[in-house]
Structure 1
Amino acid sequence: MYVQTIEGALAARGYTPVLCSTTPAVLENEYIDVLLERGVDGLIFICGRHANTEVDHGRYHDLRAMGIPLVCINGWLPDLDAPFLSVDDVDVTRMAVDHLIDLGHVRIGAVMGPSRYSTTRRKIAGYELGTRDLAQMPGTELVVNSVFSGEGGNAAMQVLLDRDVTAVVCGSDLMALGAIRAVRGHGLEVPDDVSVIGYDDSPMLSFTDPPLTTVQQDVSGISRQAVEALMDEMSGGQQPRHELLFSAQLVVRGSTGPCHVRPTRPRDQDCGSAVQGLVSPLPSGVVDPFGPGNGVSSAGAASRSALLT
């Protein structure tokens, strides 16, 4: 989503954007080496290693020491000399929980990505903020960390269904679609039995069955500001070094509805022992494509050269 807007804004200013999407096979640092060899004028990182709290961030500091302008989207490193722009994950996740509470839900779970990412931690903080006054919630929050994928959402939702949740907030749209699959696999319906909220407002979500209620980021605003910041840095200016937080909105569609309490099923342990930060047992063949050494999404670069990927 960010890429298209940033590409257009850079092209309008006479720059040729070079897109580099990280994968387990091609890591962020490898792309940085290639981009430096090609003489890029600046870098925009979108949900990259800067959002991973368990990796070394020295490469970013090296880039700044070399005088390479850079801008980071979604993730913050307080000691890095660069502009940062992020979605206010705490506030919008709290907003999603408030929506479910307004619908009468109390047993609200959270299906989130790996806890090593600062964006995940912020979403969990927003979830905790939203659920803190629910008298019937268990002592520990119903938070399950899993993989950013449909399979990960499915596996995490299996855990939460055993704890009789009636609603769930997910860390991505793919995870939400996986959660819906798990709900249906239990013979239940969305939203009649379980309400599901996604995150990202990916294209075509209004055409899913049911249309997915989800968080819509201010992609246009963040992208435009990121390009403005990069242009300013490249011309010798200096953008603010504090993190700029952008509001998001909840797009309500058909995957959330009033709470209809389901009969509880016998289980081996009380739901009050629901875990926080649990990486749920994933089905055979489900792997984390974004291991501890990888970025989450992509790094973008602006260059006056005619390089295309």
Structure 2
Amino acid sequence: MCDEQTNRDVDEYIDSHGDSRGISRRDFGRIGLGAALAAMLPVSARAMQVVESNVTVTTPDGKADCYFVHPASGRYPAVIMWPDIFGIRPAFREMGKRLAESGYTVLVVNPYYRTMQGQLVPDGTRLIDAELRKAVWPEARKQAGTLSPETCVTDGRAFMQFLDRQAAVDTGKKAGTMGYCMTGSYTFRLAADMPERIGAGASFHGGRLVTDKEDSPHRLVPEIQAGFLVAIAENDDERQPEAKAVLREAFDDAGVQAEVEVYEGAMHGWCPPGSMAHNPKQAERAWEKMLALFEHHLT
């Protein structure tokens, strides 16, 4: 989960590993945001040409500003991408674009639209480093507090309905959902709520997947009919080592195909570029696992 302790874990990791992850603070400042993010996201030799736009999606609670991207021609499986606690920003738009280049129609959503349009982090942010993280953390926690399991489901239904109305979506194929940090649990909730529509879910360093509550995400697994990838950060596993076994047992008991793995050396938040916790090697492993999952269950 993303909290003050995981922030301290990341800072300690950076202190001990320096800039060995590939892109340094200096690189971000020197080559700029777009180029730095592109450098951190490998591009497939078969990358498709895509069309991208900012869209507004009507939900039961208002108007959600989202990023919509898909291949320039044809119809493809739909995917909802939920950002982490720091919200929609260039790093997630770049990941959405990369996924579209692999043959998917992708909606990257702003989960905080009820109280805030646009980005939580300042425009032009190159890197969520320790200083910026400290500055925006109180607001991020406040915004996260406006969400709930119920808003996840009502928003997810609206996002799915929007996608299914788009010409670029092949509604004859199952859809995917993917989430990071606090929204890792959203993949479980939406897959359980829409088992006939969601064919694959991917949670990256997801928080609170196993709790004592009756609506804990792991308790929803029997309602899921989607293949799953659960990619766990090493420090999250250290804090809740029993969670992976509980998740594996839940998937096995329900007969749901799933891969639950702890990523060695990967700190909470390791997947999105533009984070000082970013681990390019392990992020790429997780991305390839996700592509394989989507290829098997959505295409």
Whether these two folds match at TM > 0.5 is no
TM-score (norm: length of structure 2): 0.37
Question: Which of the two has higher C-alpha Rg?
Answer: 1
Name whichever structure is richer in helix by fraction.
2
Higher RCO (C-alpha 8 Å, min separation 6): 1
TM-score (norm: length of structure 1): 0.36
